[in-house]
Amino acid sequence: MKGYWRIFVLVFFGALLALIYRWYYYNAITLAHIQMQALVLQNYVYHNYMQSVLLYSALFILCTLLSIPVTLLLTITSGFLFGTIGGAFYSTMSAMLGALLLFSFSRYVVGDWIQKRYGYQLHFFNNEMRSYGAWYIFILQLFPMSPIFLINVAAGISVISIRNFVWSTLLGMLPATLIYTWAGTNLYNIHSVNEMVTLLMAVLALVTVLFFVAFLIRRYFKV
């Protein structure tokens, strides 16, 4: 019975994900929906600021934890509701808390078991993450199309420290978050999220490549 609690937790988590994704499939949140309700949301925030922050943060944490694909829209909306800096702060902190919860779930539910069972096979992976894990996470978080859910899970399975995971995740997600919240201050002028994301991807992809080259130079030439 010793290891059955892990199976139960994984099955429960999987079932919860399936239910939420089924709900999202039939009730997808779009940019048009947010723009239609923008004045209602803005009025609610004006009269209930702290309550709005708490509700927004709770929703963002849940979406990050369960990898529901609405965090981009939530980040844009936060710029409209809370301003560029306020929106970026609430979005970044919420995303970080969600990532940390997923990291902890991965590490303490399956990570310890995987490390004990496959420690020898993971020797190279563990050495890389121990020495350069913060760099890897920072660069992956910086690139807007990275699979964030998988990054958080893999980091939890690895041997990277929580401190390094937190600072590299925060710094990696901050540039895109600031751009999205700034765009959100002009919510009504956004005609297509895809167009905005494409432009952002081009810029951040270039920045990511530059950081990756710098990392390789440091990694192999010990500069």
According to DSSP, residue 187 is labeled G
State the burial class of residue 168 (Cβ atoms within 10 Å of its Cβ: 0-12, 13-18, 19+). Answer: buried
The pTM of the full predicted model, rounded to 2 decimals, is 0.78
- Contact indicator for 91, 181 with CB cutoff of 8 Å: yes
Determine the pLDDT at residue 11.
58
- d(CA 202, CA 217) in angstroms, rounded, equals 23
Determine the pLDDT at residue 136.
86
- d(CA 62, CA 58) in angstroms, rounded, equals 6
> What does the pLDDT look like over 36-93, one tens digit per residue?
888 999 999 999 999 999 999 998 998 888 777 788 889 999 999 999 999 999 999 9
Alpha helices in the chain (DSSP H): 4-26, 31-36, 38-47, 49-65, 71-82, 84-105, 112-118, 123-142, 148-157, 162-184, 193-221
pLDDT under 70: residue ranges of the chain: 1-28, 144, 192-208, 210-223
Determine the pLDDT at residue 1.
45
User: Domain-by-domain residue ranges, the chain?
Assistant: 27-221
